[in-house]
Amino acid sequence: MPKTIALIHASRAAVEPVMTYYAREAPEFDYVNLLEDGIMRVLDAGDQSRPHRRLLALIETARDEYGASGALVTCSALRRETLARLRESAGIPIVKIDEPMAREAVEAGPRIGVVVTFPPTAAVTRRLLEEAAADAGKRIELIEEVSPEALQALLAGDLVTHDTMLATAVHRCAGHMVDAIVLAQVSMARLGEELRDEIHTPIFTSLPSSLAEIRRLAG
């Protein structure tokens, strides 16, 4: 019987890209999606305590009601300490979608471009990369591009405007002669595949590395 992996979302923009990729690349698992998009509003206000409670409730539901063997948290704006508290209480392995990506990105070189469309993710991703670099004994420099209008367009269903704005931000990052570009949110992953044909700078997205980590912990 296949193991069940819970995909825990704080944004509806994450559901389709994660589910599409995971179902295609890892059919050996069953999946259950749990979404509470009010978490994004609370994170936008700078509150991490309520997101912890709500995410834990979703994970407990996945574990107890659906028999999940592991959980993928797709929210990039969640801080490391909040994630640690979740892991202490969850009773199943938890992967935050962008942690494995951060470890890979810092190996690419010291100068890293970061593209963000949900502003609270910027500071969290900065800390995530700095912590990954410290863990690896490396020093990094970050160049950020924040494009909230792109996410607003995506949530309004305007995929063309989202992609155009995001591509512009990625090209600006590449123009800073960075060693790597990190697309900080999973909602960008699809476009990352397309932009690799245009930009010679390595582009890191969270889907392949997070799946490898899920397989390692829950497979």
Q: Which domains does the chain have, with CATH numbers?
A: 4-97+208-218 (3.40.50.1860), 99-205 (3.40.50.1860)
**Helices vs strands, H then E, count in the chain:** 10, 8
Mean pLDDT to the nearest integer, 65-79 = 92
Supply the pLDDT for residue 54. Answer: 92
As a whole-number percent, the residues of the chain with pLDDT over 90 amount to 72
The single-letter code of the amino acid at 90 is: A
List pLDDT tens digits, range 125-176: 999 999 999 999 999 999 999 999 999 999 899 999 999 999 999 999 999 9
Supply the pLDDT for residue 80. Answer: 84
Higher pLDDT, 173 or 78: 173
Confidence of residue 96 (pLDDT cuts 50, 70, 90): very high
Q: Is the pLDDT of residue 47 over 70?
A: no
Confidence of residue 107 (pLDDT cuts 50, 70, 90): very high
Of 144, 106, 104, 94, the residue nearest 124 (C-alpha): 144
Supply the pLDDT for residue 103. Answer: 94
Confidence of residue 219 (pLDDT cuts 50, 70, 90): low
Q: Is the pLDDT of residue 32 over 70?
A: yes
Question: Token pair 């193991």 is at which residue?
Answer: 3
Question: How far apart, in whole angstroms, are the C-alpha atoms of residue 51 and residue 42?
Answer: 7
Q: In what order do the strands lie in the sheet with 203-204?
A: 141-146, 111-116, 180-183, 203-204
Mean pLDDT to the nearest integer, 79-101 = 92
DSSP secondary structure string for all residues of 32-82: EEEE-THHHHHHHTT--HHHHHHHHHHHHHHHHHH-EEEEEE--TT--HHH
Confidence of residue 42 (pLDDT cuts 50, 70, 90): confident
Question: How far apart, in whole angstroms, are the C-alpha atoms of residue 69 and residue 92?
Answer: 6
